Amino acid sequence: MRSDPTLIGTVQDVAGTSVSVALVTNTATGLTFFKGESYRIGQVGSFVRIPLGYTSLFGIVSQVGAGAAPERDSDEHPWGNQWLKVQLVGERGREGRFERGVSQHPTINDPVHIVTEEDLRDIYGPGDPVDFVTVGHLASAESIPALVDINKLITRHSAVVGTTGAGKSTTVAGLLAALSNHKRYPSARIVVLDIHGEYSKALEDRSTVFRIMPDTSRNEKPLCIPFWALSFAELVKLSFGDLGEQPLAAATDAIVALKREALNAQPREGVDAERVTVDSPVPFCIHKLWFDFHQREHRTVIPNPGAGVDEVQSAYLLGTDGKPIQVGDAMSVTAPIYRTVKTTGPANERVQWGPDPIGMRQQLAVLASKLRDPQLGFLFNPGAWRPDPDGKVGKDLDALLRDWIGGSEPITILDLSGIPSTVLNDLVGALLRILYDALFWARNLPEGGRERPLLFVLEEAHTYLAREDKARIGAAGTAARRIAKEGRKYGVGVMIVSQRPSEIDPTILSQCGTIFAMRLANDTDRGQVSGAAADNLKGLFDMLPVLRTGEAIIVGEAVSLPIRTLIDPPEKNRRPDSGDPRVVVRGDPNKDGFEGEGGWAIPRHDEDYAIVMRQWRQQSPYYVHKSSAATKPKETKKPGAKS
């Protein structure tokens, strides 16, 4: 009989961080007891402890049974299938502090023990409570909280991955609720890029929501992204599209000239007209840019009566009265109309193209269409940030930054659900780049990232951070790569949230120091996650297909040991709008207390599709009765619900 109930076996083979353990004979039941608690032996994902003098090594069981035995083992032992394969992950030294990595390795016949709840408390409990945030509890021990190091979680980046329905959005909402605790972290700064508008309800008590078409009854604010805050490359792609070398050079010169004019009209501290570049975040009037280029490309000329042949190209009139047929207007994007080209007749009646066209008519037509498009008004007509013809604006970028990352609430939700999908990638890249550049250059100021770090949460990241060839990396991928590689030094972290990790740029995912891996059934997705994790824990990730909803395996720098965790969900009225619809609803919809969300089992009733069209055109999922427009908005009426 064993004198120590925690002893389960001995080390018989060591290969790097992989250790094969032969179980002692009386562990055949797979169960042992210690201090009134029962412990299962040989559970994949469970912990073991290997004492080496004053040091204890800790490992995770990754394989159980005959396959875990060394190749040299034979069938001569009746317990030949009682083997464990363990991956070493850290050690506890003389001071009692747990550290990742191992300074020494076990040898043959070293004893192996179960890890008790007391051991787990020592591992997960140390440290300043302010440095750790509780995200749930251990799946194997409900009394032990799952703690993550907030310093490493934020600055070393993280990823939350899991198939649809695994509880990913609820997990993120729970994490953000813990990270934005007003009492513990009153100056937290978190920016959520919400692609589908799921988080405004879940985080409404601690967030400010910006939408293209805001619902003012829900205290939402308009989302404005001034075009002049974009870099030249970002702006060209979003406005003109592809430009050849000559039009690109002409656009560069024209924008610099307009920015210099704007600085003369409204000086900005930190930059003067001589030092301004095409990428300087200085306002300029893009409507005037379009108008000037349109004139250059479309105007026609007629000879000045009495002018010689050599003077025809330099002396001209725009019409018989010296004006265009239609003058046009830059701010309303109304094009001037000129006379049609005429190459016959008397010399003083011939009409020809104006001098110096550069061949960008098609791109100018695209820009004019975008300037008139209400869907892109948040970009080209951004409210108080819209420049007038002289380049003057009502508000500068400091007001925008204050709204986004300097407000009274710790979380800012940029609801991108109303942004056209064709420009989503470019706009996400522009948003990330604008905020990162601002914090990068302010890194030594109290408002900078070093003094007050910022966390980006990128929801549905696979839609805009997908794998691409190096020759055509999208704007979002370029910005996210930069943050993933450099952000740690400047206090800018990123949390990637995705249901398809295999589709995300591996360069970005590999920089995530902490991974919350939820249920993943796809082999390719699991392979991508296990490859990005720092620990050699293939056996642990083999458990991903059978994890419960809301359960995650957390590995990486923010946790002392890889842990299987049940994430604490927020309250039911604080969960994201991402739950599965109910096809069949039980209960009587005509009785009080019915809380069904619709279904096929309820009686048919009259439905009002005029309301459907109203919400579609308004692009808001929240319906407010006209008679109660001043009250708190209600969600769109549920089929079968009582009026």
Q: What is the CATH number of the domain that holds 100?
A: 2.40.10.170
Q: Please tell me the distance from the alpha carbon of residue 431 to that of residue 414, in angstroms, as a whole number.
A: 10
Q: Which of 372, 402, 427 is the last residue of a domain?
A: 372
pLDDT value at residue 401 = 93
Joined tokens for residue 177: 């609720």
What is the tally of structural domains in the chain?
Answer: 4
Structure tokens belonging to residue 45: 């994902």
8 A C-beta contact, residue 378 and residue 223: yes
> At 625, is the pLDDT very low, low, confident or very high (cuts 50, 70, 90)?
low
Per-residue pLDDT averaged across 19-30, rounded?
Answer: 76
Q: Summarize the confidence of residues 69-89 as an average pLDDT.
A: 68
Angle at alpha carbon of residue 437, lines to 434 and 443, rounded to 5°: 140
pLDDT tens by residue, 274-326: 889 999 999 999 999 999 999 888 888 776 655 544 444 444 445 555 566 77
Assess whether 296 and 198 both reside in one domain: no
In the block, tokens 């980046």 appear at 157
Residues 80 and 149 in one domain: no
Residues 101, 142, single domain; the answer is: no
> Residue range 380-409: average pLDDT?
93
Residue 402 has pLDDT above 80, yes or no: yes
Return the pLDDT at 306.
52
Domain stops at, among 126, 144, 163:
126
Average pLDDT of the residues of the chain: 82
Domain limit, last residue, from 545, 571, 597: 571
* Number of residues that this document lists for the chain: 643
Q: Cα–Cα distance between 197 and 46 in angstroms, integer? A: 38
Q: Could you tell me the pLDDT band of residue 390, with boundaries at 50, 70 and 90?
A: very high
> In terms of pTM, does the model score above 0.85?
no
pLDDT at 427 over 70: yes
Q: Does any domain span residue 558?
A: yes
| Residue range 28-68, pLDDT digits in tens | 556 777 777 777 777 777 889 999 988 999 988 888 887 76
Q: What is the pLDDT of residue 49?
A: 93
Q: Is the pLDDT of residue 442 over 60?
A: yes
Tell me if 221 is assigned to some domain. Answer: yes
Give tens-digit pLDDT for 531-565: 766 555 666 777 888 888 889 999 888 887 788 88
Whether residue 220 is contained in a domain is answered as yes
Higher-confidence residue of 610 and 571: namely 610
Structure tokens at 16: 């790097």
In a domain, 382, yes or no: no
Is 378 among the domain residues? no
Tokens of 327: 């003058």
Q: Both 490 and 528 in a single domain? A: yes
Q: How confident is the model at residue 384 (pLDDT cuts 50, 70, 90)?
A: very high
Q: Are residues 277 and 192 in the same domain?
A: no
Same domain for 478 and 407: yes
Is residue 494 located within the same domain as residue 350?
no
576, part of any domain: no
Domain region containing 625:
585-643
Do 368 and 408 belong together in one domain?
Answer: no
* 80 and 120 housed in the same domain: yes
**For range 446-468, the mean pLDDT:** 88
Reported as a pLDDT band with limits 50, 70 and 90, residue 470 is very low
Based on the fold, state whether residues 333 and 444 are members of the same structural domain.
no
Which of 5-9, 116-120, 480-484 is predicted most confidently? 480-484
55-69, 203-217, 488-502, 605-619: which is most confident? 488-502
Task: Verify that 422 and 564 share a domain, yes or no.
Answer: yes
In-domain check, residue 377: no
CATH number of the structural domain spanning residue 150: 3.40.50.300
In a domain, 184, yes or no: yes
User: Coil, helix or strand for 455?
Assistant: strand
Same domain, 342 and 426: no
